[in-house]
Amino acid sequence: MVTARNDLVTTNASVIESPIGRAGAWLAGGLVLWLRGLNTRYQLRRLSDRALEDIGTTRADVPLFARQSDPWRRLPGEAAFVLALGALIERLESWRERRRQQLQVYRELMAYSDRELNELGLNRRDIPEIARSR
């Protein structure tokens, strides 16, 4: 799977070399940075005044603090876009792996007979929940 991600990043790097690709990556990177800032402000606003004081800010300074505390703000928009795309690909690969493991557990348990499941203290109706909790 790492190869697929490297191929995608390489492909994106070649697209970014064109003027239209650079403009698109810059806009997408700006959107990524804006969404990250929005999420950071939301998370900071959920904190108590005491917790905000502990990290060295006040409720009135949350927007400024969110902007200054994000290390991605120091990156060009194109780099933020490529990093966000790589993070998205990693999350999708992680989800696929978890799903594959759940299906494997489900198939293995479904292969047991009712008697074998009963000896394990399980019912057939419990299998989907067991697989999901894996």
pTM for the model stands at 0.54
> Is residue 86 a contact partner of residue 5, using CB atoms and an 8 Å limit?
yes
Phi, psi of 87 (to 5 degrees): -65, -40
Residue 104 falls within a domain, yes or no? no
Phi, psi of 120 (to 5 degrees): -85, -5
Residue 123 falls within a domain, yes or no? no
Residue 37 falls within a domain, yes or no? yes
How far is the C-alpha of 47 from the C-alpha of 59, rounded, in Å? 9
Residue 132 falls within a domain, yes or no? no
How far is the C-alpha of 73 from the C-alpha of 31, rounded, in Å? 12
The range of the structural domain enclosing residue 61 comes to 2-95
Residue 19 falls within a domain, yes or no? yes
Residue 103 falls within a domain, yes or no? no
Share of the chain above pLDDT 90, in %: 42
* Number of folded domains that form the chain: 1
How far is the C-alpha of 56 from the C-alpha of 62, rounded, in Å? 10
Overall average pLDDT of the 15-33 stretch: 77
Q: 52-74: per-residue pLDDT in tens?
A: 999 888 999 998 888 888 888 88
Q: 93-113: per-residue pLDDT in tens?
A: 999 999 999 999 999 999 999
